[in-house]
Amino acid sequence: MEYDRDLGLVNRKADVEVPKDWMEVFRSARKNPSPYNVIEITQRDIFGYTKFLKPMFRATCTFPTRPIRELVVRKEKPLLVEFRNNWSGEFSSGVVVARGAKAKDAAAAVRANRPEQLYLHPIPLSKPKFKDLQVLKNFCTKESSLLFFNNLPHDGDTPDQFHDYESDSDSE
Would you kindly state where each structural domain of the chain is located, as residue ranges?
Answer: 1-40, 49-112, 119-163
Sign of the alpha-carbon dihedral angle for 73, 79, 83, 88: negative
pTM of the model: 0.58
10-24 pLDDT, tens digit per residue, is 888 999 999 999 999
Tell me what the mean pLDDT of segment 64-78 comes to: 86
Categorize the per-residue pLDDT at 99 as very low, low, confident or very high, splitting at 50, 70 and 90. Answer: low
pLDDT over 70 at 103, yes or no: no
12-57 pLDDT, tens digit per residue, is 899 999 999 999 999 999 888 888 899 998 888 899 888 888 877 7
pLDDT value of position 160? 43
How far is 168 from 172, CA to CA, in rounded Å? 7
pLDDT value of position 130? 92
How far is 136 from 149, CA to CA, in rounded Å? 9
81-92 pLDDT, tens digit per residue, is 899 988 888 999
107-160 pLDDT, tens digit per residue, is 677 677 788 888 887 788 998 999 999 999 999 999 999 999 999 998 855 444
- Quick one: residue 155, left, alpha or beta (phi over 0 = left, psi -120 to 50 = alpha)? left
User: What is the chain's Cα-based Rg?
Assistant: 23
